[in-house]
């Protein structure tokens, strides 16, 4: 059944939008909204560090997949700010041959900060996590086929629910030929594997940095299966800085078609060495 992905900065009105969609569509079909509340998780804990973000995305995606296989309109209500992750969700819809669309809440960073301040204390993002998520957010872009059809939503304008229904529910179903299916599955596995490798490297660097003194040069040894890379880092870096390096690296290699994990590992470690 149809998949609607909602994406937008933290606290940009995504759940408010999801609830409006649910209210409209549940008169006609079963609707399931998947979000942090539904998973029973805490927004600051889910985004505390790379490891918790990856775990969160894993459970978000598997819950979406489970719901999609039923006879239900699924609304994947999350920041969904990582291009590769949106791609994975798109692939799930494509494999099932459902209709699909991406709604992007365009609320500005200044406004989301204001809205976050008006939240109850326990619902607020910490300002550190909010800034980090804003900085890391990869805007949906119609240049990516998996970000199409894309409907920008300004939460302060009137919502055209009929337009959304036309595209998301009555629109064209995604179709994958067998060969494409295998290719997508493979591509999605590669992205997943690369995400894990990058996380391991960052964890290993961060572990060494925790005990190092500022201004000190220190040695890092990173492993990926049998491959070992030893290198020196000249200064300490914060976790947000490490995440920025990973993001820049992902952008740099996106057109290089790197499919071998060893090659990815070596390139990423070299890049970290030069850019931290």
Ligand X SMILES: Nc1ncnc2c1ncn2[C@@H]1O[C@H](COP(=O)(O)OP(=O)(O)OP(=O)(O)O)[C@@H](O)[C@H]1O
Residues that bind ligand X (CB under 6 A): 8, 10-16, 36, 43, 79, 115, 118-119, 155-156
Residues with Cβ within 8 Å of 204's Cβ and at least 6 positions away in sequence, in order, are: 220, 221, 222, 223
Residue 117 or 189 with smaller CB distance to ligand X: 117
Question: Are the C-beta atoms of 271 and 249 separated by less than 8 Å?
Answer: yes
Of 106 and 199, nearer to ligand X (C-beta) is 106
Q: Among residues 57 and 229, whose Cβ is nearest to ligand X?
A: 57
Compare residues 118 and 225 and give the one whose CB is closer to ligand X. Answer: 118
Q: How far is the CB of 13 from ligand X (least distance, A)?
A: 3
Query: Residue 49 is encoded by which pair of tokens?
Result: 């560090």
**Nearest approach, Cβ of 49 to ligand X (angstroms)?**
18
C-alpha–C-alpha distance, residues 1 and 100, integer Å: 9
> Cβ of residue 145: shortest distance to ligand X, in angstroms?
25
In the complex, least distance from residue 12 CB atom to ligand X, rounded to whole angstroms = 4
CB-wise, 116 or 188, nearer to ligand X?
116
Of 46, 20, 51, 4, nearest to 155 by C-alpha is 20
Q: How far is the CB of 123 from ligand X (least distance, A)?
A: 7
Distance (Å, whole) CA 230 – CA 270: 10
Residues 219, 224, 230, CA angle at the centre, nearest 5°? 20
Determine the angle formed by the axes of helices 50-68 and 83-96, rounding to 10 degrees. 20
Q: Report the distance separating Cα 223 and Cα 229, nearest Å.
A: 6
137 or 224: CB nearest ligand X: 137
The DSSP annotation for 59-74 comes to HHHHHHHHHHTSS-EE
What lies within 8 Å, CB to CB, of 249 at 6+ separation is 198, 267, 268, 271, 272, 275
Place of tokens 């059809």: 149
Task: Tell me the backbone φ, ψ of residue 56, rounded to 5 degrees.
Answer: -60, -45
Of residues 80 and 98, the one with the C-beta less far from ligand X: 80
In the complex, the smallest distance separating the C-beta of residue 16 from ligand X, rounded to whole angstroms, is 3
Q: Minimum distance between the CB of residue 109 and ligand X, rounded to whole angstroms?
A: 13
């Amino acid at each position: 059944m149809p998949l609607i992905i909602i994406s937008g900065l933290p606290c940009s009105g995504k759940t408010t939008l999801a609830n409006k969609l649910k209210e409209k569509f549940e008169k006609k079909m079963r609707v399931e909204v998947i979000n942090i509340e539904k998973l029973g998780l805490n927004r600051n804990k889910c985004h505390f560090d790379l490891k918790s973000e990856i775990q969160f995305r894993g459970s978000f995606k598997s819950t979406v997949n489970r719901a999609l296989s039923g006879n239900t309109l699924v609304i994947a209500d999350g920041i969904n700010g990582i291009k590769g992750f949106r791609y994975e969700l798109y692939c799930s819809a494509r494999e099932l041959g459902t209709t699909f669309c991406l709604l992007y809440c365009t609320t500005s960073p200044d406004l989301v900060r204001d809205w976050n301040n008006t939240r109850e204390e326990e619902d607020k993002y910490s300002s550190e996590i909010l800034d980090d998520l804003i900085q890391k957010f990869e805007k949906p872009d119609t240049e990516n086929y998996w970000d199409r059809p894309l409907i920008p939503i300004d939460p302060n304008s009137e919502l055209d629910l009929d337009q959304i229904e036309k595209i998301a529910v009555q629109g064209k179903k995604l179709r994958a030929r067998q060969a494409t299916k295998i290719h997508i599955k493979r591509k999605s596995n590669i992205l997943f594997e690369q995400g894990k490798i990058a996380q391991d490297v960052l964890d290993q660097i961060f572990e060494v940095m925790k005990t190092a003194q500022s201004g000190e040069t220190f040695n890092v040894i990173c492993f990926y299966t049998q491959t070992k890379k030893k290198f020196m880092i000249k200064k300490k870096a914060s976790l947000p800085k490490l995440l920025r390096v990973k993001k820049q690296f992902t952008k740099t290699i996106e057109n290089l078609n790197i499919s071998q994990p060893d090659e990815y590992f070596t390139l990423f470690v070299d890049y970290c060495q030069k850019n931290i």
